[in-house]
Amino acid sequence: MAVMQNDSDQVAAIAEKIRAGKTSLGIEFGSTRIKAVLIDDTYRTIASGDYGWASHLEHGLWSYTVEEIWKGLQTAYAEMAGDVEAAYGEKLTHIGHIGFSAMMHGYLAFDEAGELLVPFRTWQNTNTHEAHEKLSELFQYNIPERWSIAHLYQCVLDNEEHVSKVAFFTTLAGYVHWKLTGRKVLGVGDASGMFPIDPTTRTWEAEFIRQFNELPEVAAQPWKLEDLLPEPLVAGTPAGELTEEGAKLLDPTGTLQPGITLAPPEGDAG
């Protein structure tokens, strides 16, 4: 009976933390699984959910559809929220903080209206070898094939029709965060897999941006690179709040309320 009483007290204590918003939700978009984990203020896992998925070839390039991204996010979240209600008798209306992480690199490019220009190109693609070689030589700094800037530059070199329309490009975590908060930002770790970061300023390497913009094939574009990139943020910086539209994207039932502070979206590096 004492053991049962202790269990009951623990459940009640966690339920009180959930009501008080003493929780943090982390959602990770891995290559094979989307995971949602809710912890309390002592970093103890109190609920979780997941969704299995896999990349597929789209016009010869590895991709996940936008529909898969949102279905996976909503499914993992719903499973976690269901876990909360089943274990603690609480509907999840508020969370203390939320943070997203995802597979790094890749290419999600959008036009001025916020429409995706080409299917999401993941880090798995190696069609960017020419861009990797030319940019590494230009900067005297290794630019791997999977980096976002290699994807953008390869599109320029290949004269892809969408290139002149690009108004913003980002990573998977940056995309999800943008849609939930309206903020075009990125954690500095994930940002370092888009384009080189200056360790002193903790933002984009300005000299490399200048060199990139002066490439003849880039100079012919109607944009400058600095206008296309998200804003890098260091860890611990508030990165916006969950909007009404964002809350409905995450939880279509309408139970979760807006106004929750989000951390800068990060990559899946250590």
HEC sequence for 166-231:
CCEEECHHHHHHHHHHCCCEEEHHHHCCCCCEECCCCEECHHHHHHHHCCHHHHCCCCCHHHCCCE
- Same-domain pairing of 19 and 60: yes
- Same-domain pairing of 92 and 156: no
pLDDT score of 159:
97
- Same-domain pairing of 66 and 157: no
- Same-domain pairing of 82 and 145: no
For β-strands 97-102 and 266-267, DSSP reports them as parallel
Residue 29 lies in a domain: yes
- Same-domain pairing of 120 and 219: yes
Averages of pLDDT over runs of 10 residues in the chain (270 residues) are 58 95 97 97 96 96 97 98 97 97 96 98 97 98 98 98 98 98 97 97 97 98 98 95 98 98 88
pLDDT score of 123:
96
Give the structural domain span for 202: 105-170+195-228
Residue 121 lies in a domain: yes
- Same-domain pairing of 78 and 155: no
- Same-domain pairing of 74 and 128: no
Contacts of 111 (CB under 8 A, 6+ apart): 117, 162, 165, 166, 167
Residue 186 lies in a domain: no
Residue 239 lies in a domain: yes
pLDDT score of 31:
95
Residue 190 lies in a domain: no
Q: How far apart are CA 146 and CA 226, in angstroms?
A: 20
pLDDT score of 1:
32
pLDDT score of 32:
96
- Same-domain pairing of 110 and 94: no
pLDDT score of 2:
32
- 265: domain CATH number is 3.30.420.40
pLDDT score of 6:
53
- Same-domain pairing of 55 and 149: no
Residue 175 lies in a domain: no
- Same-domain pairing of 224 and 150: yes
Residue 52 lies in a domain: yes
Residue 26 lies in a domain: yes
- Same-domain pairing of 115 and 218: yes
- Same-domain pairing of 223 and 254: no
pLDDT score of 25:
98
* Buried-state track 173-194, b at ≥16 Cβ within 10 A, e below 16: bbbbbbbbbebbbbbbbbbbbb
**Number of domains comprising the chain:** 2
